[in-house]
Structure 1
Amino acid sequence: MQGVQEQIEELQMKLAFQELTVEELNQEVIKLNQLIANQQHQIQLLIGKLKAMEPSNIATQAEETPPPHY
């Protein structure tokens, strides 16, 4: 059996590794949240531009007059 001191040291190393992993994952989550916020802002800008566009001069198919029949 391992001594108590060796077990404590092993647990401390595992804890340090887990803390590092959690911090790295946290940084990735922060980056992804910023990316999502940026993309949401860009989508809102595009929606605004689409709403501001003038309607097309091309009639929809429902508005078209039917072709003459021969």
Structure 2
Amino acid sequence: MTELEDRVNELEAKVAFQDETIETLNNELSAHQVRLAKMQRQIELLAEKIKEGRDPGMMPQHQEPPPPHY
């Protein structure tokens, strides 16, 4: 092979590796976007529950017993 053919083959190998890397990163980014959207929705639901006072673990402030030092 000539030097030019070697250089072309090397460049083709680099491009193939870069294509594979880009595809892998794109798949990871898509998965992260799905997870992020799910977490954002969960936060919205929690915020709605807190505003409505529906969270069974949280009592409205007027129903909480006073601290023990009172």
Please give the TM-score of this superposition, normalised by the length of structure 2.
Answer: 0.75
Calculate the aligned-residue CA RMSD, in Å: 1.9
Runs of 4+ aligned residues of structure 1 deviating over 2 Å after TM superposition are 58-61
The alignment-based identity, stated in percent, is 33
Q: Which sections of structure 2, spanning at least 5 residues, go unmatched?
A: 55-59
One-letter code of the match for 2:45? L
Partner deviation per Cα, 1:11-62 (whole Å, 9 max, x = no partner): 000100001001100110111111111000000001111111162412778x
Q: How does 1:1-70 map to 2 (within 5 A)?
A: 3-53=3-53, 55-56=60-61, 57-58=63-64
Q: Which sections of structure 1, spanning at least 5 residues, go unmatched?
A: 62-66
Which protein is richer in helix relative to its size? Answer: 2
Q: Which has the higher contact order (CA 8 A, sep 6+)?
A: 2
Give the length in aligned residue pairs.
61
Q: Computing the radius of gyration over CA atoms, which structure comes out larger, 1 or 2?
A: 1
Please give the TM-score of this superposition, normalised by the length of structure 1.
Answer: 0.75
